[in-house]
Amino acid sequence: MVGEALATLNERDQAGGLASSPAERRQDMEHLFELIQRCVHEGHCEPIIGPSQQMAADHFAAGIEIAEVQTAFTVLEDVLWRHLADAVSGDQRLDTLRLVNVILGAGRTRWPGPTCHWPVTPATAAGQLVPRGRAPHRA
């Protein structure tokens, strides 16, 4: 999935609009994908928040616009949606796609500056991934 997302991102860069190098984009995309997997495995959004803030800060410090980081999130989200929609069926599909939205939204909404804001529920605000019909996990 990372390769597919990178190919899409590189296609969008045919005009040379992205400031990061292909190696930097690969590293960011691989790291982002690992963070998403970790969030799913751990059952909460916390693992993506700090690293995505750091990614945005690092890019900003390097003179790279936040839109480039947002584009990486969006491209990976699109690829994940396509793969998950094909791989998961029925009610699980909707819950799984919601999970991806919540995870990526948690990473996006914590960036400084203009961002794409996602709806926040009490469970998502607490960084918990709550499948429909279940109560949030209390540690």
CA 139 to chain centre: 24
pLDDT given for residue 41 in this prediction: 87
pLDDT given for residue 17 in this prediction: 66
Which sequence spans correspond to the domains of the chain? 21-125
pLDDT given for residue 138 in this prediction: 40
pLDDT given for residue 110 in this prediction: 62
pLDDT given for residue 125 in this prediction: 43
Per-residue pLDDT tens, the chain, 139 aa: give them.
Answer: 899 988 888 787 666 666 777 888 899 899 999 999 999 888 888 899 989 888 888 888 888 888 888 888 889 989 998 888 888 888 788 888 888 888 988 888 766 544 333 344 444 444 444 443 444 444 3
pLDDT given for residue 132 in this prediction: 39
Global pTM value: 0.72
> For every residue of the chain, which 3-state class applies, written as one string?
CHHHHHHHHHHHCCCCCCCCCHHHHHHHHHHHHHHHHHHHHHCECHHHHHHHHHHHHHHHHCCCCHHHHHHHHHHHHHHHHHHHHHHCCHHHHHHHHHHHHHHHHHHHCCCCCCCCCCCCCHHHHCCECCCCCCCCCCC
